[in-house]
Amino acid sequence: MWWRLALPLVFMFAPNIISRVVRAAYLVWKLTLDHRVPLLLKLLVPATIL
């Protein structure tokens, strides 16, 4: 029964959450490819995935 209450909230907030996740992923990708970012910080991305 709780999903009947949660489903409209998901549809209301999903576009905002999805756009924030996409922007954050793009930022991480660009920072990973940037030569000014130290290698240790670049290694944090794969370390968190593992």
Give the pLDDT confidence of 4-21 residue by residue, as tens digits: 777 787 777 778 888 888
Q: Could you tell me the CA-to-CA distances from 9 to 6, 17, 21, 22, 23 in Å, in that order?
A: 5, 12, 18, 20, 21
End-to-end alpha carbon distance in the chain: 36
The pLDDT tens digits for 17-46 are 888 889 999 999 999 999 999 999 999 988
Contact between 48 and 35 (Cβ < 8 Å): no
Please return the burial class of 12, using the count of CB atoms within 10 Å of its CB with bins 0-12, 13-18 and 19+: exposed
Q: Which domain holds residue 42?
A: 2-49
Number of structural domains in the chain: 1
Determine if the pTM surpasses 0.85.
no
- Angle formed at CA 7 by CA 6 and CA 9, multiple of 5 degrees: 65
Write down the pLDDT at residue 14: 79
